[in-house]
Structure 1
Amino acid sequence: MLSALIHAHTLSFLSSFPQPNPRLCRPSMASSSLVRIAVVGDVHDDWDLGEDTKALQLMKPDLVLFTGDFGNENVELVQNVAALNFPKAVILGNHDSWSTQQFSSKKKDRVQLQLEWYGVQDMDGSAKRIYDAALGTPEDHLVILLAHNGPTGLGSELNDICGKDWVFGGGDHGDLDLAQAISHLKETTTFSIPLVVFGHMHKELAYGNGLRKMIVVGTDDIIYLNGAIVPRVKRPINEQTAYRCSVDTETSLQASNSNGTKRAFTLVEILNGHVDKISESWVSVVGNETTLEEEYILFKSNGQSSL
């Protein structure tokens, strides 16, 4: 529950945190402009400020969106994300908790405590918060929704964009509040909502059952994008450019980074108020040299959608 809402020229968050400085958040999303958005899917401890900055400088996004799951108690990583010198918006996930410090011997449901912090008591209240945040959008601007998990109603097969891949038979794991908010916005406003971005449901399915669908084009032309490419960093394991996806120690991480990495982003281009292209992009970073190593087209505006 709870999503971030983005519209030009500022970023609005559904939380009690301070609003970002408008001078730092001016990727123009007026419907007559071209906007490039880089989506960083669930990080899970795979973020390096220097390496990822180099990769983003190659792609030149107007805005960077983070779908959460930075890593439990990984304060240093979150500080490095905050230091990224690009306009950005962030949503937290279920792997962004702090559990080692116990403040009371009385235990209360942690999810409920988090919701109470935001003044949310139920799904309807959460949907209303999302809806109300959108009402301040200027008429000539687009609305893009950023959430950790996607909305319900996008399929129940295990490989669907929010499908349960960890139980036999699948099931719809989408969030009801986000679906309600989107539906209410469509019914009662004239806002253009070209894109809903989220993560949580990893591209690689559990138990080696294949890959997840990462794009859904709704009947109303809203595009639902899952950016959870996990792990998002590949590191070389030998001189023949074979890559592995994770390392075990800080020492090996530093050593492998010195040999180069490939880093995943989902790149979205919005032209004249409509999503024109979406691609899964892997950027090679070796020292100060960056190249677009791999690109998989997920969507083109001619109506072709793959993966």
Structure 2
Amino acid sequence: MTSETITLTTGHVTAALALPHGVRPAAAAATVDRLLPGGWSTSPTAPAGDGPWLLVEVTQGPPGVEAVDATTVRLRLTRRGAASATLGYATYTALERARQQQQLTTVHASAVCAPHGQAVLVLGNKGAGKTSTVLALAARGWTHLGDDLVVLGEREGAVTVLPGKRTAAVRPADPALGDAPKPVVELRPLRGAPAPLGRIVRVTVHSRVTEARLIPATPFSGNEYLRLHENLARYISGIPTPLDGIAEAPYGPVWPLDTPACARWRSHLISLLEGRRFDYLYAPDPERAADLITEAAEVPPS
């Protein structure tokens, strides 16, 4: 099948994207650019250099993925999937290995930058209060680094936080509206450059919490190690990405993209995280959670 090669930039890495003639990425760019860390954009010329290369094949058969070699991932998408936002999400996931080979990894987290310039990584389960906490911090003068998805990197043995998803889906305060679509807001102000990681907070914000408190999370428990391993690996091997959209029954196998070298680097990254200030935070509401983080950040971590 003939194809044309263009440049794809997403998640802070650049690759060559080979698309069959007649397939245009405009729908993906328009839909997912704000929803993925580092955005999602293409240019009509092929990148110079040797890779990483990403080959996308559109077929009428069952969608799938194949890691051909160290620099090539071949996707099989239906024509409908390749002409939709599915192309954006699938290529982002396919490039996670390239990120990790460059000592970057996507994490399920939110992040903000304190006035003194260091980043706070906010972890937590779905619905734990990550978004509401970082919005409360931004109202206090902190700068957003991304909500729900951000990218961690390593530079000369130090952890940095790269800008993540630049929108936030805000959960309604009224429990009766829990099933309603969450309004999406732009994060402002949003930092456009990486920031050094100062501390990590795993939040639990719930009205049943009677006392707001910070509890040191280090040294890590076995459960914390498992949670961090799952988080750092989920976009390379842990979460299926639907390859044929959501209009039909989504099909998304766990992709065979992981390598022993990537796994070793993620373990190394966890050891670096354990060396930073890491707390469990419990608070009855986002304002009190933001108060505790602000108080803890008054003296920048060493």
TM-score by structure 1 length? 0.26
Q: Report which of the two has the higher share of helix.
A: 2
TM-score by structure 2 length? 0.27
Q: Report which of the two has the higher share of strand.
A: 2
